[in-house]
Amino acid sequence: MKALVKAKSAPGLWMQETQNPTIDADQVLIKVHNTGICGTDIHIYNWDEWAQKTIPVPMTIGHEFAGEIFDIGGKVKNLKIGQRVSAEGHIIGANSRAARSGCYHLDPDTKGTGVNLPGAFAEYIAVPAFNVIPLPEEIEDELGAILDPLGNAVHTALSFDLVGEDVLVTGAGPIGIMAAAVARHVGARHVVITDMNPARLALAERVVDCTPVDISQQDIKSVMAQLRMTEGFDVGLEMSGAPAAMDMMIDVMVTGGKIAILGLPSKPFAVDWGKIVFKLLTIKGIYGREMFETWYKMIAMLQSGLDVRKVITHRLAAQEFELGFQTMKAGNSGKIVLDWR
């Protein structure tokens, strides 16, 4: 089969003929229809320090996908050939306290599809049946291919009660934009999203009813005044990993406010902990999706009016992956979806 492979220890990715995966009794073989390019894949493409110490070579990469079940292991009962599916890309262990008590997303032995294990940028992928998420009819393959990052957004946004609250999202990448859409969908009052990239802020405005703020041009406090906010943001969703965004967020939170952080800083940085203490802020780190509550809520919201389709800005054939990666690297795109059929 065709697969996009990190074939050697150098920048780039290579489309190659590889062996079709075989499946164990508790796995299914999925014929991949669409895949999404993730920031993680860009790190792997660029072959930065993190990628070099994390990614085995050679390996097929990619973890955001949707397709249909092509073959089924002997022990799998609840799925059938031809079923349209996506899958949770984190493959859990069975031994840790968290895993054994059902807190799967907290399992320290988790391995990542397309990061530690062979990935989805291929015509076929083998996945544990446990991880498979059947797709309802109204979620088309293209949308199915971005449920992984939408799940990051849902996990982050639903960390705290947003009903009637003023929400600040720092970072208008695809996940930040989708988090803003979730906040709007569940009933936040003001949803303000900040970035320094006008293209991303324009995309945010196209996807969701929100207040985009270019913080290189505009002071956040003047925006708050325009919105007639008197005290500060109730909930912050940090999606950028930028130290300056974190500083600003802490400054404009209400006393007793809550912050969920998904943005990954490139290196450690100093934070004014005194402000966090005096403001009685709650800070929560977020990684991945809750298995499988995030998936349940995400699909339920997509079936009841949440629409993030416009966050997909580019649709390319798998053979055009190089263009996809270069477009993504330029930093002005939303989600880029590849077609493997």
Which residue in 18, 33, 43, 185 is the catalytic one? 43
Closest to Zn ion by CB, 258 vs 289, is 289
Closest to Zn ion by CB, 30 vs 248, is 30
Closest to Zn ion by CB, 38 vs 312, is 38
CB 52 → Zn ion: shortest distance, Å? 19
Q: Is 43 a known active-site residue? A: yes
CB 274 → Zn ion: shortest distance, Å? 35
CB-based burial label for 117 (10 Å; 0-12, 13-18, 19+): middle
- Tell me the HSE value of 81 on the side-chain side, using a 13 A CA sphere: 5
Q: Is 239 in the site for Zn ion (CB under 5 A)?
A: no
CB < 8 Å & 24+ apart, contacts of 91-97: 91/117, 91/128, 91/131, 92/291
Query: Binding pattern to Zn ion, positions 181-210, x when CB under 5 A?
Result: ------------------------------
Distance CA 183, CA 298 (A): 12
Strands 132-134 and 84-87: antiparallel
CB 27 → Zn ion: shortest distance, Å? 21
Q: What Cα–Cα distance (Å) separates residue 78 from each residue in 69, 81, 99?
A: 12, 11, 22
Query: Binding pattern to Zn ion, positions 45-84, x when CB under 5 A?
Result: -------------------x--------------------
Distance CA 114, CA 89 (A): 8
Distance from chain centroid for Cα 180: 13
Q: Is 18 a known active-site residue? A: no
Q: With CA atoms as reference, report the closest residue to 248 among 262, 233, 260.
A: 233
Distance CA 55, CA 40 (A): 11
Site residues (CB under 5 A) for Zn ion, limited to 142-171: 148
Closest to Zn ion by CB, 156 vs 211, is 156
Figure out which of the listed residues 29, 37, 38, 146 binds Zn ion, where binding follows CB under 5 A. Answer: 38
Q: How many residues bind Zn ion (CB under 5 A)?
A: 3
Kindly list the residues in this chain that would bind Zn ion in the complex (CB under 5 A). Answer: 38, 64, 148
Q: Which residues are catalytic?
A: 40, 43
